Amino acid sequence: MISFYIQAAALSPVDHDETCTYQEEQQRRRKRKEREQDTEDRLARMEMVLRAATRSAPKGSDQRPTVVDIDARSHATTTASPGASGADPGTDPGADNADQGPASYLSICSFSAVEWVSRRIGIPDFLASAKRLSKDVSRGECLNRIIDPSRTPEPDMETAFKWTNVYFETCLDSVFAVPCRQDFMARLRVIQFEPDPDQMADKPWYALRNTVYTSGCRVSLSKESSPAAFSESRTQSWKYFENALAVHTDLVYGRTDLTWVRALLMMAFHAETLGSPALEYMLLSNATRLAQSKGLHLLPPQGSRFSPEEITSRQWLWWILYSYEKHVAYRSGRPSVRSCNRRRLRRLPPLPASSGFGGLGPVNPEFATATVNHAQTSSRISKKLTTAKALRKSPEEMAGRAQDLEHRLHQRRKSLPPNFSSPPRFKGLELPPGDADVPRPVRALLVCRTTLP
């Protein structure tokens, strides 16, 4: 111990009553023109490879032009150069405090992508549109205020049942049947709809029903004839969502069961309707990690105490989480939660014919299977095209991967039931000659490549 203090004293600096001056560290940065030239060279090479690859593409493949929804006249005229419109030359127009990733749809707002798109569509002020898109999306990324510490009283019985029925009959995420409608309604009937602090004692049930109130309230109020109906629906429904968010810490760190997982998943579903990608991503990540901590992603061990119905319910809850998590990760460009390889689920379990099994409601088999297969396809595309390892591959190898994935997508689309393979309800913008021949994932890859330093 004494030797320790002697060594510490010997290493301590001596105060000579002088100010030390250190040379400012110089970060090694490549000149901007060199980076832009490298990007131009890489783009030119990639385009040459892609055009050569797509000339031999089989006819009849599902190739549609990329949709570019731009109202050029609604923005002030500017150029596509990074220094225009007062843009900070050190940051991209889509830059913010959140990591979007090269696969994110906001990668279209990077300087390289803006320049490429501007040349292709012949609209010089695309930079203004990109900046506006990035700003609008980023504005809803995080919560603008702290959750109100006071809790909003729950609605009366009549209103609660009205909003609950609206949720199960009209909200899109109810198709996953995360809470079984029959079980949910039965449990709702025994609640005493009066102000009572004990109503928060069961945290997951409190969060689950308030999230259902939130969705039902928003849909119900938005259908009213008042001009301010939409705004009022958001304001009123948010109060109930705050109730659910208030017990978030308990949901993640308390003694948990599958109801806690379902509550977080339901909250993530609603966050998607708010246009808040960061809130949705974090809630879903919490739900997925909590499910993994419960072993939902693993095959049940031999001698498991779970009944066959419980095992099926657990496995389908995991596949719903998996599908939604892959969708959010692929859409936002943020990292996906990777499952370990230790006895993990690889095949879909059968769906029981009866409803209300193990807390999950009846799920449409065709829809559930198509959704999971789509998530697996998205995961495969992400691994092949957008990971750090993949983006270091040569343009020739990347073009080959994109062509193979395009073929798989085409085959997958042909195998879908007719009600899942309808054409998109939008009109594509006419692209310059030659660009329409490039498959969609290849064009997405081309834009993603431009975001690399």
Over its length of 453 residues, how does the chain's per-residue pLDDT go in tens digits? 444 443 444 444 445 555 555 555 555 555 666 666 666 666 666 666 666 655 554 444 444 333 333 333 333 333 333 333 333 333 344 444 455 555 555 666 777 777 777 877 777 777 787 777 777 666 655 566 667 788 889 999 999 999 999 999 999 888 888 888 888 999 998 886 666 656 678 899 999 999 999 999 999 999 888 888 888 998 899 999 999 999 999 999 988 888 999 999 999 999 988 877 788 989 999 999 999 998 888 888 777 788 888 888 888 899 899 999 988 887 777 778 765 555 566 666 666 544 443 445 556 677 778 888 888 888 888 788 877 788 788 888 888 888 898 888 888 888 887 777 766 554 544 545 544 444 444 444 444 443 333
Alpha carbon distance 85, 129 (integer Å): 11
pLDDT, position 453: 34
Q: Kindly report whether the global pTM for this prediction surpasses the value 0.75.
A: no
pLDDT, position 13: 47
Question: Can you read off the two tokens belonging to residue 59?
Answer: 């006819």
| C-alpha distances out from residue 363 to 145, 215, 309, 395, 419, Å | 37, 20, 14, 42, 16
Alpha carbon distance 339, 346 (integer Å): 11
pLDDT, position 185: 92
Q: ∠ CA 251-252-256 to the nearest 5 degrees?
A: 65
> Is the CA virtual torsion 192, 197, 199, 201 positive or negative?
negative
Q: ∠ CA 400-406-409 to the nearest 5 degrees?
A: 145
